[in-house]
Structures are given as C-alpha cells and as structure tokens.
Amino acid sequence: MTRKEIEQHFKLDGGGQLRENTRYIYTDCRDVDIKVDVDFKPAPPVDGVDDSPDDTVVKVSKPYLEYPDRD
C-alpha cells in the first residue's frame, strides 16, 4: 500500500510530521477522532524531505481514539 492509497481514506493530523512516520485521522467520523500512526519506506529520491505519494507503508498502528479539540 502507498501513501496515496492511505490518503484516500485518511487525512493528515495536525502538528509536526515526518516523512517516515505520519499520523492520520479517519475522515468519516465527526464525534471522535480515529487515528493511526503509519511508518513509511520513502520512495526515491530518499534524501528529499517532502512526502511522496509513492512512499510505501511498512507498519500501521492499531487505531486509537481521541476527542477532537473543538470550542
């Protein structure tokens, strides 16, 4: 699976993210944030800092819940 495929169902969580380790929020839930942490193997060129849609998923955490920070 690639970053492009993950991002069809999840959006980036806020805060600092790294190319190799990224936190995502499931987009179809409004009351509670369903999050996963995803580890990627960077696609060439590996020395770049920008995410590539071709980065390959190597590990996905178990989903976990967080209440959204909303006023």
Write out the chain's pLDDT in tens, 71 residues.
999 999 999 999 988 888 899 999 997 877 788 999 999 999 988 777 788 999 999 999 999 998 776 65
pLDDT of residue 17: 86
How many structural domains compose the chain?
Answer: 1
pLDDT of residue 50: 84
User: For residues 71 and 66, what is the distance between their CA atoms, to the nearest angstrom?
Assistant: 15
Q: Is residue 71 part of a domain?
A: no
Structural domain of residue 36, as residue ranges?
3-66
pLDDT of residue 67: 77
User: For residues 71 and 67, what is the distance between their CA atoms, to the nearest angstrom?
Assistant: 12
Secondary structure percentages of the chain, helix, strand, coil, to 5: 5, 40, 55
pLDDT of residue 32: 84
User: For residues 40 and 21, what is the distance between their CA atoms, to the nearest angstrom?
Assistant: 6
